[in-house]
């Protein structure tokens, strides 16, 4: 055991950490290592990654000139500090029932079932409480044990191949009249929680009530038969209908039934324990009501009106967006406070697929600010679904700093703190404070959360609408939906086309990204919250949301504030910045007298759970104005100051000038370092920059739409879009949508380039893909009308690797004329403009290709015959595919072949010692290795170099067909370290060309068996527990030593008589079978030889079969 209580250090692993010298050489070096089979799994600061080695080894990493350091991932590095021996007994893993529960995270592609099986096998009394199910989900297992078994659980879990992080499991638990005026119009006085409401509500006054928007809520259940959730008016009058829960529920991430005309558009139960509806806690009903509840109908003497697309018709305690629809994801078990989210990424993907673009989560785990699995899942989902905003409650009742919970600690979440009631600007005493454990600003924003009056739950469900009843609750759970409902209003502002002219125009419809919504909300906060703590602060973040302080209307309503105008500069990830890139925007005529604020937000790639610094892609905001240069997040007294250093922690950066000098301001977004996390496209970073201030007031004339839009050039520098325009523009902005003009909706176009004149160049295209473009001119510091659309198929470069199954490489070296015939499955190009695929074949006499020779290139077909070979000489081959654009695939597996005559090697004198002859056909992971040999330098190994053999693998190493003479005997030497009585290697023989196989134990029987494998067998080949095997460790004194990993393995001789097969053509194979998780050095095979009655005293060193007529058969090629 390691000193901190993890498993002992390992000498072999498929997982490693590699650090590069600098960001400049990282991208190119990463590409070359990927071609060698290295998979990049997660980013580590600085310029480092977790990697899966594949068929590469540490020698390949260390040989790369760009690599500063590389070594195996050790078990101790997987362990959360709270689980070190000194803190273990009192760690947060201790549950209320006295048990200890851990969450064991793994890298993508690792089987959670395998991890769970290994824990059950090795840890006394362990209970697997939950694990990930979908292959696409971030793999994890939750396991609970008594204190007596905790040390064993930690040691075993940290030793498992593919486990990335072992940490305490923390339970996820649950965390309006007065709020609407506070958030929409900056109301600052007290107000009753139910009734007509207080303060100006300018968005409602402009007819923005949430119509056309869908919010997803994952919570304890809701009450679909309560009159809060039964009426929806899309403009044709109320549609009244109850939406029951789907039965059976859809399987994540699939969607179930959609009810497009209902208030509740969908009700889907989440997996692994939740039950339908909200009979117990009332939490989810209250939360749903705060977001979009809308009391409607007549009940006794009371009549309530449904919201319309123009009027909120606020009654009782309606929610923030009464015209919106609810997609409910029920995650509540019978417990009043628990939430069960077993696949958060799947939950978010399901909501997105169902049409939701804002997702509320009034629950979390108290993770002391740490970045955990659900945080990573949120970041991954929002990176994948760019126009999804995920709102999360910051957490309750934990004193002190670093108290925000997960998933509020996600970089891309909008974490919400709670204020007092109504117009309060004071942080509620129960609202958890940040920062996150790595120093990032959390929470992000604040909203009313105290004594919130909203919908009360029903205690039963039927298809009769029940009268709306209210309840009062407090918590960040109430603040989050307050913010979610208002985020829907912001989204409708853009979707309805209010931006940029301040009035509804269909041609200006725009679907903002989640980053844009977050930037706009943070750019419009009341900065006075918790004045004693300064601004921003770790209690209320960037302050209380104030929608009308940022969203500009050209007709100011009573109580509204349109003294500042908004500009939004947004780039999607596909058009984002790479390391060293800079985008620059200018507003020429900022007036004095009103605050100028700029907020930069980007949705970063997911970090590894447990990362001590979660930031991967680092952008920086820089504002240059008459007063100097201001960097993001350099504040004093709530105002930006010149000087300071660029922020390298946060994914939100802001510059705030409460009293700006009049003049021109330039806003720069700079990509300091964008390494990505190894996922495709993660080394390009999109963003949203929201700027609000006193400019373009009064509203200037609309700059007319540019005309004659066309692609003036199209090539490796990108697509240049030319156009004609009226005079007087300050500049132009180019917008792009994927696909064609016909397929792209008005709201799909996002900015990709700016410039002073035509043409504007989009340099982020991928060759062969179709793009649609529009252009706008800027005049008076505001965007004009959009041009007509033009579509272009890019002639730019495309660097996507071809898809090629390198494991399909196969060959045959048995022929009358010496030749090796190779074949493989055809590759396919991923670049649409590629005209085809060609192949390159390399050969060497060294399995590590120290001096390879290219024997064929530009092959148009998936096969090649090598005639420049000699009988009896082992050769090694590998193949790569290349598309017509020059993109190379990863290299194939290495194929070993020794040429012979048409009847194969001579069975009378067979020698396969790997060094001088190599006849075996190898299934992955079997390979030729120089790591150990019984004689010479090479042998066969069922694992990659410096890696343990893989789990859940059934794979063989097979001799070619041999026609046996009388008295045949097979001999070989083996060294092995295979999990004792769980994993093993067996010998088998076939007499029908490999159609069927029979067991072939060595003389004296197998040293061991699969005795522990259970029933049904858990080993991959399905060998029963009674089946003999080579298992355990082959030590000098014991062929089945049980001390895996510590006993010293040596090569031992074995043999088996084949006399009973005389005259038959047979094949022989060694077949490995492993079960989940526990892996060791594996099985090495060497000096395989055969003798029979025709050569009873043959010296195998010289018995190469060259002597014609020695026995019948043609064993030599010429």
**pLDDT of 177 over the 60 cut:** no
* Mean pLDDT confidence for 1091-1107: 54
Domain total for the chain? 7
Task: Report the pLDDT value the prediction gives residue 426, as an integer from 0 to 100.
Answer: 86
Task: Report the pLDDT value the prediction gives residue 946, as an integer from 0 to 100.
Answer: 85
Does residue 770 share a domain with residue 815? no
C-alpha 629, offset from chain centre? 36
495, 510, 525 - which closes a domain: 510
Q: For the beta carbon of residue 275, count every other beta carbon within 10 angstroms.
A: 16
3-state secondary structure at position 470: strand
Task: Report the pLDDT value the prediction gives residue 527, as an integer from 0 to 100.
Answer: 76
Does residue 240 share a domain with residue 116? no
The CATH number of the domain holding residue 1042 is: 2.60.120.260
The CATH number of the domain holding residue 469 is: 3.40.50.200
Does residue 195 share a domain with residue 107? no
In a domain, 432, yes or no: yes
Task: Report the pLDDT value the prediction gives residue 531, as an integer from 0 to 100.
Answer: 61
Does residue 506 share a domain with residue 375? yes
Cβ-contact 652, 566 below 8 angstroms: no
Task: Report the pLDDT value the prediction gives residue 532, as an integer from 0 to 100.
Answer: 64
Cβ-contact 832, 868 below 8 angstroms: no
Residues 6+ apart with CB under 8 A from 269: 245, 246, 249, 275, 276, 329, 330
**pLDDT of 187 over the 70 cut:** no
Does residue 404 share a domain with residue 278? yes
The CATH number of the domain holding residue 61 is: 3.30.70
In terms of Cα–Cα distance, which of 775, 780, 705 is closest to 734?
A: 775
**pLDDT of 245 over the 60 cut:** yes
Does residue 85 share a domain with residue 46? no
* Mean pLDDT confidence for 825-829: 96
pLDDT in tens, 923-982: 999 999 999 999 999 999 999 888 899 988 999 999 999 999 999 999 999 999 999 999
Does residue 723 share a domain with residue 656? no
Task: Report the pLDDT value the prediction gives residue 409, as an integer from 0 to 100.
Answer: 97
**pLDDT of 1059 over the 50 cut:** yes
Does residue 391 share a domain with residue 306? yes
**pLDDT of 381 over the 80 cut:** yes
In terms of Cα–Cα distance, which of 544, 568, 536 is closest to 656?
A: 536
Task: Report the pLDDT value the prediction gives residue 529, as an integer from 0 to 100.
Answer: 62
Task: Report the pLDDT value the prediction gives residue 197, as an integer from 0 to 100.
Answer: 61
Place of tokens 């009674």: 1026
Does residue 967 share a domain with residue 838? no
Lowest mean pLDDT among 24-33, 722-731, 858-867, 1002-1011: 24-33
Task: Report the pLDDT value the prediction gives residue 198, as an integer from 0 to 100.
Answer: 66
Where does the pLDDT of residue 1101 fall: very low under 50, low under 70, confident under 90, or very high at 90 and above? very low
Does residue 465 share a domain with residue 353? yes
Where does the pLDDT of residue 1112 fall: very low under 50, low under 70, confident under 90, or very high at 90 and above? low
Task: Report the pLDDT value the prediction gives residue 422, as an integer from 0 to 100.
Answer: 77
Where does the pLDDT of residue 740 fall: very low under 50, low under 70, confident under 90, or very high at 90 and above? very high
Q: pTM for this structure?
A: 0.88
Task: Report the pLDDT value the prediction gives residue 1103, as an integer from 0 to 100.
Answer: 38
Task: Report the pLDDT value the prediction gives residue 193, as an integer from 0 to 100.
Answer: 55
The CATH number of the domain holding residue 570 is: 2.60.120.380
Q: For the beta carbon of residue 302, count every other beta carbon within 10 angstroms.
A: 12
897, 921, 941 - which closes a domain: 897
In a domain, 624, yes or no: yes
* 80 or 1113, greater pLDDT: 80
pLDDT in tens, 588-624: 999 999 999 999 999 999 999 988 899 999 999 999 9
Cβ-contact 892, 879 below 8 angstroms: yes
The CATH number of the domain holding residue 893 is: 2.60.40.10
Task: Report the pLDDT value the prediction gives residue 882, as an integer from 0 to 100.
Answer: 97
In a domain, 1118, yes or no: no
793, 819, 851 - which closes a domain: 793
Alpha-carbon gap, residue 24 to 38, rounded angstroms: 20
Give percent of the chain above pLDDT 70.
96
Task: Report the pLDDT value the prediction gives residue 1028, as an integer from 0 to 100.
Answer: 98
Cβ-contact 500, 551 below 8 angstroms: no
In a domain, 1111, yes or no: no
Residues 6+ apart with CB under 8 A from 850: 844
Alpha-carbon gap, residue 386 to 514, rounded angstroms: 6
Does residue 197 share a domain with residue 319? yes
* Mean pLDDT confidence for 677-698: 95
In a domain, 1064, yes or no: yes
Does residue 109 share a domain with residue 86? yes
In a domain, 798, yes or no: no
Give percent of the chain above pLDDT 90.
81
In a domain, 59, yes or no: yes
Lowest mean pLDDT among 738-752, 832-846, 866-880, 1101-1115: 1101-1115
Where does the pLDDT of residue 172 fall: very low under 50, low under 70, confident under 90, or very high at 90 and above? confident
Where does the pLDDT of residue 181 fall: very low under 50, low under 70, confident under 90, or very high at 90 and above? low
Task: Report the pLDDT value the prediction gives residue 1094, as an integer from 0 to 100.
Answer: 81
In a domain, 521, yes or no: no
Task: Report the pLDDT value the prediction gives residue 307, as an integer from 0 to 100.
Answer: 95
Per residue, what are the HEC states of 37-75? CCEEEEEECCCEEEEECCCCCHHHHHHCCCEEEEEECCH
> By residue range, what is the domain housing residue 219?
176-510
Q: List residues bridging with 49 in a β-sheet.
A: 18, 43
Query: In angstroms, what CA-CA distances link 157 with 16, 132, 142, 797?
Result: 17, 16, 11, 45
């Amino acid at each position: 055991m390691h000193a901190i209580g993890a498993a002992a250090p390992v000498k072999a692993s498929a997982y490693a950490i590699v650090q590069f010298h600098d960001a400049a050489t990282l991208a190119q070096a990463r590409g070359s290592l990927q071609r060698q089979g290295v998979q990049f799994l997660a980013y580590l600061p600085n310029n480092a990654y977790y990697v899966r080695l594949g068929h590469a080894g540490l020698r390949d990493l260390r040989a790369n000139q760009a690599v500063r350091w590389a070594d195996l991932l050790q078990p101790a590095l997987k362990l959360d500090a709270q689980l070190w021996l000194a803190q273990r007994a009192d760690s947060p893993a201790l549950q209320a029932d006295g048990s200890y529960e851990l969450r064991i995270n793994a890298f993508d592609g690792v089987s959670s079932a395998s991890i769970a099986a290994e824990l059950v096998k090795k840890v006394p009394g362990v209970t697997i409480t939950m694990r990930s199910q979908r292959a696409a989900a971030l793999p994890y297992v939750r396991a609970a044990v008594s204190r007596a078994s905790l040390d064993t659980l930690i040691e075993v879990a940290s030793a498992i191949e593919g486990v990335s992080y072992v940490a305490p499991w923390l339970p996820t638990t649950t965390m309006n009249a007065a709020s609407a005026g506070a958030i929409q119009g900056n109301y600052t006085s007290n107000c009753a929680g139910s009734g007509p409401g207080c303060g100006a509500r300018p968005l409602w006054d402009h007819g923005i009530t949430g119509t056309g928007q869908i919010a997803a809520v994952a919570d304890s259940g809701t009450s679909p038969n309560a009159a809060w959730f039964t009426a929806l008016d899309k403009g044709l009058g109320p549609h009244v209908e109850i939406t029951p829960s789907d039965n059976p529920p859809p399987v994540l991430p699939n969607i179930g039934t959609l009810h497009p005309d209902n208030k509740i558009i969908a009700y889907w139960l989440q997996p692994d324990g939740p039950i339908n509806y909200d009979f117990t806690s009332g939490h989810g009903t209250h939360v749903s009501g705060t977001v979009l509840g809308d009391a409607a109908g007549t009940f006794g003497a009371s009549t309530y009106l449904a919201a319309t697309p123009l009027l909120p018709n606020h009654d009782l305690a309606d929610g923030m967006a009464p015209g919106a629809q609810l997609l409910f994801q029920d995650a509540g078990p019978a417990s009043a406070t628990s939430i069960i989210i077993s696949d958060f990424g799947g939950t978010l993907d399901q909501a997105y697929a169902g049409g939701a673009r804002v997702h509320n989560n009034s629950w979390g785990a108290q993770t002391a600010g740490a970045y955990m699995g659900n945080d990573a899942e949120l970041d991954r989902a929002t990176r994948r679904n760019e126009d999804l905003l995920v709102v999360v409650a910051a957490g309750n009742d934990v004193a002190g700093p670093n108290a925000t919970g997960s998933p509020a600690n996600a970089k891309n979440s909008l974490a919400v703190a709670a204020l007092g009631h109504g117009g309060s600007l004071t942080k509620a005493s129960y609202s958890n404070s940040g920062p996150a454990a790595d120093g990032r600003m959390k929470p992000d924003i604040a909203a009313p959360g105290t004594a919130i009056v909203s919908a009360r739950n029903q205690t039963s469900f039927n298809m009769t609408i029940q009268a709306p009843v209210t309840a009062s609750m407090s918590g960040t759970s109430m603040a989050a939906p307050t913010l979610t409902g208002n985020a829907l209003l912001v989204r409708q502002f853009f979707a309805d086309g209010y931006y940029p002219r301040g009035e509804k125009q269909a041609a200006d419809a725009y679907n903002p990204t989640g980053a844009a919504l977050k930037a706009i909300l943070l750019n419009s906060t009341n900065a006075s919250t918790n004045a004693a703590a300064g601004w921003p602060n770790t209690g209320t973040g960037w302050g209380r949301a104030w929608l009308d302080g940022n969203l500009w209307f050209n007709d100011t309503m009573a109580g509204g504030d349109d003294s500042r105008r908004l500009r939004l500069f947004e780039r999607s990830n596909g058009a984002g910045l790479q390391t060293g890139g800079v985008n620059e925007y200018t507003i020429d005529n900022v007036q004095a007298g009103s605050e100028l604020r700029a907020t930069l937000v980007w949705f970063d790639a997911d970090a590894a759970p447990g990362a001590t610094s979660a930031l991967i892609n680092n952008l920086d905001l820089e504002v240059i104005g008459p007063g100097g240069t201001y960097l993001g997040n350099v504040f004093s007294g709530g105002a930006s100051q010149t000087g300071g250093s660029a922020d390298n922690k946060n994914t939100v950066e802001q510059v705030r000038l409460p009293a700006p000098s009049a003049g021109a301001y330039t806003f720069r977004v700079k990509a300091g370092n964008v390494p990505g996390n190894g996922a495709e496209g993660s080394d390009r970073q999109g963003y949203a920059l929201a700027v609000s201030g006193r400019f373009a007031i009064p509203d200037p004339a609309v700059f007319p739409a540019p005309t004659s839009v066309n692609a003036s050039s199209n090539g490796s520098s990108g697509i240049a879009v030319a156009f004609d325009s009226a005079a007087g523009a300050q500049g132009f902005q180019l917008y792009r949508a994927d696909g064609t003009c016909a397929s792209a909706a008005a709201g799909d176009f996002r900015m990709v380039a700016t410039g002073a004149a035509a043409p504007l160049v989009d340099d982020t295209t991928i060759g062969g893909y179709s793009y649609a473009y529009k252009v706008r001119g800027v005049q008076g510091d505001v965007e004009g009308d959009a041009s007509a659309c033009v579509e272009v198929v890019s002639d730019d470069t495309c660097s996507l690797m071809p898809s090629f199954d390198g494991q399909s490489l196969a060959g045959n070296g048995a022929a009358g004329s010496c030749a090796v015939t190779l074949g493989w499955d055809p590759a396919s190009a991923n670049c649409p403009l590629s005209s085809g695929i060609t192949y390159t074949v390399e050969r060497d006499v060294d399995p590590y290709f120290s001096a390879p020779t290219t024997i064929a290139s530009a092959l148009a077909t998936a096969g090649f015959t090598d005639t420049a070979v000699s009988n009896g000489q082992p050769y090694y081959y590998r193949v790569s595919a290349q598309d017509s654009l020059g993109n190379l695939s990863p290299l194939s597996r290495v194929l070993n072949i020794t040429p012979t005559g048409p009847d194969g090697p001579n069975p009378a004198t067979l020698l396969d010692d790997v060094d001088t002859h190599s006849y075996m056909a190898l299934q992955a992971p079997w390979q030729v290795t120089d790591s150990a040999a019984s004689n010479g330098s090479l042998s066969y190994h069922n694992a990659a170099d410096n890696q343990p053999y893989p789990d859940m693998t059934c794979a063989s190493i097979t001799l070619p067909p041999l026609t046996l003479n009388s008295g045949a005997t097979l001999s070989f030497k083996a060294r092995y370290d295979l999990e004792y009585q769980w994993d093993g290697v067996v010998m088998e023989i076939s007499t029908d060309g490999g159609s069927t196989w029979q067991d072939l134990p060595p003389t004296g029987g197998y040293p061991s068996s699969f005795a522990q494998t259970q029933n049904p067998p858990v080993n991959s080949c399905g060998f029963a527990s009674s089946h003999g095997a080579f298992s355990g460790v082959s030590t000098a004194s014991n062929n089945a030593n049980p001390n895996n990993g510590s006993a010293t393995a040596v090569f031992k001789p074995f043999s088996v008589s084949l006399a009973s097969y005389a005259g038959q053509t047979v094949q022989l194979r060694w077949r490995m079978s492993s079960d989940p998780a526990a892996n060791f050095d594996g099985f090495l095979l060497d000096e395989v030889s055969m003798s029979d009655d025709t050569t009873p005293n043959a010296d195998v060193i010289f018995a190469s079969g060259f002597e014609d007529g020695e026995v019948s058969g043609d064993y030599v090629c010429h």
